[in-house]
Structure formats: C-alpha cells, structure tokens
Amino acid sequence: MTIESTSQPAPETPNKQGFSFLALLSTLTGALSYLLIPFSIFGNLKSWLSIILFFICSPASALIAIITGHRSHRQIKHSNGLLSGLKFSNAGLIMGYVFFALSILTIVLIILITGNLIQGVSNLITSLGIN
C-alpha cells in the first residue's frame, strides 16, 4: 500500500493594499487653503480673525499640502505597490502649488497697482500746484 502525497501549493495571501494617509492629508489641506478664503473675506468674523485666516492659515494649509504631497509620493513609490493614493497626492500638490502661484501673482499686482496709484496722485498734486 503506497500513499501518494499530493503537494498542494500553499494558498497565496492576498497583497494588502493600503492607502497613503499623507496623500489624503495633502488633498484635504490643499482644498482647505481655498475654502478658508471665503470665510476670511465674507464671513462675519472679527477683523483680526479674518487677517489670521487669510494671511496665515491659508498659506500654511497650502504649504502642508505641498509637503505631505511630496512625502506621500515618495512613500507610495517606495512601497512597491502596497500603497495607493497617487492621484490624491497629485491633487494636493497641484492645489498647493497653484495657491502659491496665485498668491505671488496677487502680491505683484497689488504692488503694481499701489505704485501706479501713488504715482498718479503725485502727478495730480504737482499738476494742481499743491505742495
């Protein structure tokens, strides 16, 4: 009597597919940087709170989106397919960089408009002969 041993391959354990928390954080903080602007401008907030939201919290949120977006890119790349969330990471990066580009453009426009306004008032004063 011979007993045949049938060797069956061990069942493969499925790859655990995880999601990068940093990618999600990048997307949420990128969106938050834009959502804070209407609250700071149109909200019934005290003036100091509006200034803090507009000039500190929105840029800080965009900066967090950029930092976490780059870190999640690196994390996903080095995970060898175990982590997902690259699209969320890209969305956070895009929102963060676009926020900073628009901020710089706005600052340049404000400086140009203010400079032209001061020059126009100066020309008006000299043309009227007021010293």
Q: Where are the beta strands (DSSP E) in 5-128?
A: 18-19, 83-84
In a domain, 122, yes or no: no
Q: Where are the beta strands (DSSP E) in 23-102?
A: 83-84
Q: How many domains does the chain have?
A: 1
pLDDT value for 41:
76
pTM for the complete prediction?
0.76
In a domain, 60, yes or no: yes
Range of the domain at 60: 18-96
In a domain, 123, yes or no: no
- Contact of 25 with 88, CB cutoff 8 Å: no
**CA–centroid distance for 24 within its chain:** 11
pLDDT value for 14:
45
In a domain, 127, yes or no: no
Over the chain (131 residues), what is each successive 10-residue block's mean pLDDT? 59 68 96 87 75 85 96 94 94 96 92 92 88 67
pLDDT value for 104:
92
- Contact of 69 with 90, CB cutoff 8 Å: yes
